[in-house]
Structure 1
Amino acid sequence: MATWADRCDNCHRDVISRYQLLGGRICNACYSGLRRNPARCPGCAEIRVLAYLDKVGARVCAACVGRIDRFGCKDCGSHQQLTGSQCGSCRLSERLADLLDDGTGTVHMRLRPLRDYLLAVKDPRNAVRWLKREPITATLRGMAVGQLPIAHTTLDELPLSMRTRYFRRLLISANVLPEIDVFLNELELALARFLTTIPVEHARLIQRYHQWHTLPRLRKQAKPVTTGMFANRLRGARTIAAFLTWLHGQHLQLSTLDQAVIDRYFAAASSRDELRQFLAWAARAGLCTKVEVSRVRSAAHPATMSDEALAELAERVLADVVLSPVGRLLALFAIVYAQPIRSSVDLRLNDVEQSEGRLWIRFATTRVRLPTSISELLEAHLEQLRTRQSYHPLANEWLFPGIVPGQHLAAGTGIGLLTRAGLRVRALRTSRLVLLSQTVPARVLSDVIGISTQTAHARSVASGGTWRDYPELRRN
């Protein structure tokens, strides 16, 4: 038989209840819930933890019932964002003062922008937890006391990981470190580390190829290197290394390479693009004779789903409460507008406009009016962004922000989100693209999807659509 001490008077569960609050005994879970959710007290109108009952049974703060305050921050008295005996802001200030101390009792001058940056976050408790992680703690402490330089070279020595990347971008956003192309920098580091794992003669050749061919092209391009580019180039280095290893196993040299050898290799190998570029560079550099790596062209993709089936799927996605709003929007942009995930995650907040009582969105160069159902979902997503808790205080410019400061959601993350939900994004997008190319002129398709006019025209021809449809479309 349960006794009064074994039952919570608030949630009515049979659990040990140690705290005498809310007119009875409450359990740990209810106590934590009270601390996490301060509200405006009906008695004094202050934001307080409402853990007591007044004469009419309303929840009020300790002061309003003449009790000693047991919840307020020991430093400032705040009841908001409590963590231990302090509020989040005081705990973070204390943590930063200790971590960034240059040894004289003051924060290192060059790390003060980081202190100010983190103190401006919406929920300081997130920043406190982040600062406890390694190698963050040791690196910042080393920078503060002068053991480590406050420079990108310090971070270059850390393991290549999402945490290190986030750390670097945070220091850039806080103006502690200068702006760089983060993925390009990581690519150079990853290549250098990979080359230490292969034979020296192979490593020298691959290093020379990347130094004179790959990296200069990446540095000249207008946009920063993306996650996909990083992964592809690193994969390409492994592909070239595997090819050189195969040559060595066949007792062959790059200098004696001929077409027969290439044909024999690619009879079993599938990766061609990077090797094609490598062999073309090697021929120009006089390292081998010119050889041809044939292209494997995929056949035209037929529409695997009808317009009706895509419409039905769109309705199911709209009603799917398990899939996050971000996942549903990415899926709908692919299903309805044939948008690739990499283009959707690159959308900015200013690509969305409110006009004529509806939301419009700019895909590529064309503004599209969204139907009511998608508009409502997008509006809910925008409202969520406005109240989103974040480690960093910078104003967000992305429609789908990532967790890294100043960066949008990674395309791979978006694809993974939909794949886990059973949605084959590429097949869905291809189906919609084929259906659109049958009815929409190539130029219009190009403007909406963001592909070249030549590609759009090829799609149109392959799917049976022609420019002759355009006048009729305009009349309708």
Structure 2
Amino acid sequence: MVPQHEQGSRTSRAVQFARTHHPRKVLDRLPQPRSIRYLRAALVSTGVLAERDELLIRFEEWTSSVVEEVQEPAERQVVRAFTTWFYLRRLRRRSPRRRPMTSGGYNFMRYEIRAAIRLLTWLRERGASLDTCTQSDIDQWLSSEESGRYAIQNSLSWVVSCGHAHGIKVLFRVSSRGQEMLPEADQRWDLSRRLLHDTTIATAERVAGCLVLLYGQPCTRIAALTTSHVTKTHDRVELRLGREPLVIPEPLAGLVMELVRTRQGHAAVGRTDSTPWLFPGAFPGRPMDGVSITARLNRIGIRARAGRNTALMELAGKLPAVVLSGLLGIHVNTATLWAQEAGNTRPGYAAEVARREVSKN
């Protein structure tokens, strides 16, 4: 019979072993090539590991390493505080299920942090710092050829609010929302007809391209669609992009239902119909990211950003901003700006009518 104190010691060692050799801890200690990320996704999809926001974990690891690359201690302290309190605090608070981090957001935040580090280096090389720099210094930075020179608005706003800098801001030049458009007015419809009828194109690309060209959807939002966004009744197919569902006409409705039935990522583990994503990705249990969808559309001759801008411009010229917002899932302020860009007078007319009613009373 094993003495009681020895049993307690064995239990303690077993608990310690389980803690240090848990699959997640073992994987986290390894380098993270594509094969390890695939293995982690497979373990999550089969229930061995709990789901987590993998892009957020990668972003945390990246920020930790990039902060250590900053040589000057004072600059390193500012960059560490900025990444922790401006980005990571906000990202950790939001729900990973309702608002998961996207590849586009991941890349853009890294771009902003790199730009902030370059600004600190640029100031130091000119004998200045955040404490001593003036608006003139910032204006010179903005007129320079430095990469990412306009990606410092968030970092500058944060350092000013925290007292690291004083009396400086970034003045951006306003550009047209419809700046990058399809070159010909009919090209949007020609591309849409091709997607609707060309059976040599994969169904996923056909549906994604139509969502861009007909409904002005960004590829990051398309990537986040699940089968729960699609509703099939006896006489119609509905797709929920915003607050109100859209009735999808044929033949696009048939393509959407075909995608629901046949969707499959590049790599399947277990049942291929167990994933909720409308556009499954290369990793088990994960969706395709927006960058991959953009690349696939580019390969079939569709420029996603230009196509989306063209669609939004035309839709905003026909629909009131509040309707556009509810149907397409864009913020009402954004919809209003698109309506103004498209020359839609409905928002202004409605505001004028409201003012008249108030003045009468």
- TM-score normalised by L of structure 2: 0.81
**Which whole-Å CA distance do the structure 1 matches of 2:170 and 2:230 have between them?**
44
Q: Which residue of 2 aligns with 1:239?
A: 115
Shift of residue 366 of structure 1?
A: 2.4
Q: Which residue of 1 aligns with 2:81?
A: 208
Q: Which residue of 2 aligns with 1:320?
A: 198
Q: Does the 8 Å contact 1:353/1:361 carry over to 2?
A: yes
CA deviation profile, 1:267-301 (whole Å, cap 9, x unmatched): 12463565222222222333222311112321241
Shift of residue 234 of structure 1?
A: 1.8
Of 98, 106, 118 in structure 2, the residue corresponding to residue 230 of structure 1 is 106
CA deviation profile, 1:222-243 (whole Å, cap 9, x unmatched): 3232222222222222112211
**Which whole-Å CA distance do the structure 1 matches of 2:161 and 2:119 have between them?**
19
Does 2:93 correspond to 1:217?
A: no
Q: Which residue of 2 aligns with 1:365?
A: 243
Give the structure with the higher percent helix.
2
Does 2:62 correspond to 1:190?
A: yes
Q: Which residue of 2 aligns with 1:289?
A: 166
Shift of residue 448 of structure 1?
A: 1.6
Shift of residue 263 of structure 1?
A: 0.7
CA deviation profile, 1:61-82 (whole Å, cap 9, x unmatched): xxxxxxxxxxxxxxxxxxxxxx
Structure 2: 5+ residue stretches without partners: 1-13, 351-361
Shift of residue 311 of structure 1?
A: 1.9
**Which whole-Å CA distance do the structure 2 matches of 1:399 and 1:219 have between them?**
26
Shift of residue 262 of structure 1?
A: 0.7
Does 2:339 correspond to 1:463?
A: no
Shift of residue 445 of structure 1?
A: 0.8
Alpha-carbon RMSD: 3.0
Shift of residue 147 of structure 1?
A: 11
Q: Which residue of 1 aligns with 2:312?
A: 433
SS of the aligned residue for 1:360 comes to strand
Shift of residue 326 of structure 1?
A: 0.8
**Which whole-Å CA distance do the structure 2 matches of 1:156 and 1:205 have between them?**
27
Q: Give the paired residue count.
A: 329
Amino acid at match of 1:191: T
Q: 1:238 to 1:381 in 2, by over 3 A?
A: same
**Which whole-Å CA distance do the structure 2 matches of 1:438 and 1:180 have between them?**
41
Of 383, 388, 400 in structure 1, the residue corresponding to residue 279 of structure 2 is 400
Amino acid at match of 1:225: M
Q: Which residue of 2 aligns with 1:124?
A: none
**Which whole-Å CA distance do the structure 2 matches of 1:389 and 1:292 have between them?**
47
Q: Does the 8 Å contact 2:112/2:152 carry over to 1?
A: yes
CA deviation profile, 1:42-77 (whole Å, cap 9, x unmatched): xxxxxxxxxxxxxxxxxxxxxxxxxxxxxxxxxxxx
SS of the aligned residue for 1:439 comes to coil
Shift of residue 382 of structure 1?
A: 2.6
Amino acid at match of 2:226: R
Does 2:217 correspond to 1:339?
A: yes
Identity %: 25
Of 129, 152, 155 in structure 1, the residue corresponding to residue 27 of structure 2 is 155
**Which whole-Å CA distance do the structure 1 matches of 2:346 and 2:114 have between them?**
45
Shift of residue 151 of structure 1?
A: 4.9
Amino acid at match of 2:113: A
Q: Does the 8 Å contact 2:266/2:281 carry over to 1?
A: no
Q: Which residue of 2 aligns with 1:70?
A: none
Bigger drift between 223-232 and 378-387 goes to 378-387
**Which whole-Å CA distance do the structure 2 matches of 1:148 and 1:179 have between them?**
19
**Which whole-Å CA distance do the structure 2 matches of 1:317 and 1:267 have between them?**
43
Of 336, 351, 365 in structure 1, the residue corresponding to residue 229 of structure 2 is 351
Q: Which residue of 2 aligns with 1:101?
A: none
Of 136, 155, 170 in structure 2, the residue corresponding to residue 278 of structure 1 is 155
CA deviation profile, 1:235-271 (whole Å, cap 9, x unmatched): 2221122112212222222221111111111112463
Q: Does the 8 Å contact 1:439/1:469 carry over to 2?
A: no
Does 2:324 correspond to 1:445?
A: yes
**Which whole-Å CA distance do the structure 2 matches of 1:349 and 1:331 have between them?**
18
**Which whole-Å CA distance do the structure 1 matches of 2:18 and 2:228 have between them?**
42
Bigger drift between 317-326 and 402-411 goes to 317-326
**Which whole-Å CA distance do the structure 1 matches of 2:22 and 2:343 have between them?**
60
Q: Does the 8 Å contact 1:440/1:470 carry over to 2?
A: no
Structure with more relative contact order (C-alpha pairs < 8 Å, separation 6 or more): 2
SS of the aligned residue for 2:176 comes to coil
Amino acid at match of 1:406: G
Shift of residue 459 of structure 1?
A: 1.5
SS of the aligned residue for 1:326 comes to helix
**Which whole-Å CA distance do the structure 2 matches of 1:371 and 1:193 have between them?**
50
SS of the aligned residue for 1:407 comes to coil
Q: Does the 8 Å contact 2:102/2:290 carry over to 1?
A: no
Q: 1:200 to 1:147 in 2, by over 3 A?
A: farther
Q: 1:206 to 1:160 in 2, by over 3 A?
A: farther
**Which whole-Å CA distance do the structure 2 matches of 1:147 and 1:432 have between them?**
53
Counterparts of residues 51-62 of structure 1 (less than 5 Å): none
CA deviation profile, 1:389-448 (whole Å, cap 9, x unmatched): 712448211111123233221011100111122211111111111111111111111112
Shift of residue 372 of structure 1?
A: 1.8
**Which whole-Å CA distance do the structure 1 matches of 2:200 and 2:129 have between them?**
56
CA deviation profile, 1:333-354 (whole Å, cap 9, x unmatched): 1111112212222221122222
